[in-house]
Chains A and B, each alone.
Chain A
């Protein structure tokens, strides 16, 4: 079943971005070299960057349609976004960071939800710390938890391991795999690293110079692709 349907055009300096793909459940990797336009694509899906033309549909909702004049603002798209640098709020504790989405939507506090995700990501012992007291790996796990607790319909992960050293990458990958299998939320995973994509993705969308060059399974990964983990 198709969950996400994307058809976008955007002029970014010299790069003419023209991307079209569909994603089902599981984890779809947006895979390609740096500068291929991967981050711009997820920013447009999240509503943080305005496309020039095109459409975005998630489940049965149209989030963006330039022809119909539809553009749902980011805070109403219900898309979780884990940024490359985490972007935890420095003035809030880990607990307040995790709780932020619930507070903004005015939902009542649900300990079960909170505890389940804290356990899934193993961050229960960090709750009273400030983001600056966390290691890179811990920070990214909190960022994933914070996005999950908004009960998103889709989770965007933009190179979530890029700012981590190899040891921390190995530490966080199992959590992401567990997330894919247990949380039941479709994932779009941006990466330029073959090893990461092989561990996490169920579908691969290959991007190069602003265009989709191939869509398929893990067989699209080539020996010549950048590879950091192994």
Chain B
């Protein structure tokens, strides 16, 4: 049944790589901006909050198009990154990872921000009186206590990245072996005669991957919660 052709394997492998890289790169930003939104009052906070959540409400094609005109080779950010660091996003798998990271970001931010908001701040005060500076307090008290929220955010972002279609195909197209993820491959197979079997196999894999991610996140979050707060 699951006798995948090399092209199909490539799509699966590419999807996983893109989703993992997108989630890993989004995580530091997710924690930093989640912390800013949870803890700080500053000018433009509402704007930042809105900007972060924009990919959730915009049509994915619009997000993809915005990425294309800003991160494309001739876009202002894309041209800068290419000229100074030699980084290229357009029509590369790295661009797919960028699109997936942007699309998954609002889903990652929400649980992280919520977890940071519900932490007992008095524990951080206690850590300070025990000699921990702000950075140590964050890494030894704040972040460990927010871990269940961080895990939930990571898993939601990963699942979103794995299934992303609209923004990715608009930004980096649908190139087999480079930007053709599971979703894009399924779409391609459904457009050609006799592609149903291949599409079916990839659909099955997509279901298994998403379901596994969901179960894993539930299990990790429960383990973290038991460790910190009891049953």
Binding site for B on A (CB under 8 A): 46-48, 73-81, 83, 85, 87, 89-91, 100-101, 103-105, 130, 132, 146-147, 150
B80 touches A (CB below 8 Å)? no
- Give A139 to B229 CA distance when docked, in angstroms: 15
Is A75 touching B133 in the complex (CB atoms < 8 A)?
yes
- Give A76 to B128 CA distance when docked, in angstroms: 9
Question: Which of B43-51, B119-127, B153-161, B177-185 is the contact stretch?
Answer: B119-127
Asked, given contacts A104-B136, A132-B229, whether A87 binds B123 with beta carbons under 8 Å apart, the answer is yes
- Give A78 to B128 CA distance when docked, in angstroms: 10
Residues of B53-102 contacting chain A, CB below 8 A? none
Nearest opposing residue in chain B for A49, CB measure: B125
Nearest opposing residue in chain A for B141, CB measure: A89
Nearest opposing residue in chain A for B230, CB measure: A132
- Give A90 to B128 CA distance when docked, in angstroms: 16
Asked, given contacts A91-B227, A91-B228, whether A48 binds B125 with beta carbons under 8 Å apart, the answer is yes
Is B126 touching A150 in the complex (CB atoms < 8 A)?
no
- Give A132 to B228 CA distance when docked, in angstroms: 9
Nearest opposing residue in chain B for A103, CB measure: B140
List the count of A-B residue pairs having beta carbons below 8 Å apart. 66
The 6 residue pairs across chains A and B that have the minimum distance between CB atoms: A87-B126, A81-B129, A74-B128, A101-B130, A104-B132, A104-B131
For this complex, 27 residue pairs linking A to B, each with C-beta atoms less than 8 Å apart, are A46-B129, A47-B128, A47-B129, A48-B128, A73-B133, A74-B125, A75-B128, A75-B129, A75-B130, A78-B131, A79-B129, A80-B129, A81-B126, A87-B125, A89-B123, A89-B127, A90-B145, A90-B229, A91-B144, A100-B132, A100-B140, A101-B130, A104-B132, A104-B133, A104-B136, A104-B140, A147-B129
| One of A75, A89, A90 near B131 (C-beta < 8 A) | A75
Sample of 13 more A-B contacts, CB < 8 Å, known A79-B129, A104-B133, A132-B229: A46-B129, A47-B129, A48-B129, A74-B125, A75-B131, A76-B131, A87-B122, A87-B123, A89-B123, A90-B123, A104-B127, A104-B140, A150-B130
- Interface size for B (C-beta < 8 A) is 20
| Nearest-Cβ distance from residue A75 to partner chain B, whole angstroms | 5
Residues on the A chain within 8 Å of B125, using CB: 48, 74, 87
Is B131 touching A101 in the complex (CB atoms < 8 A)?
yes
Residues on the B chain within 8 Å of A100, using CB: 127, 130, 132, 140
Residues of B133-178 contacting chain A, CB below 8 A? 133, 136, 140-141, 144-145
Residues on the A chain within 8 Å of B132, using CB: 75, 100, 104
- Give A80 to B230 CA distance when docked, in angstroms: 28
Residues on the A chain within 8 Å of B227, using CB: 91
- Give A101 to B128 CA distance when docked, in angstroms: 9
| One of A73, A85, A91, A104 near B130 (C-beta < 8 A) | A104
Residues on the B chain within 8 Å of A46, using CB: 129
Is A150 touching B122 in the complex (CB atoms < 8 A)?
no
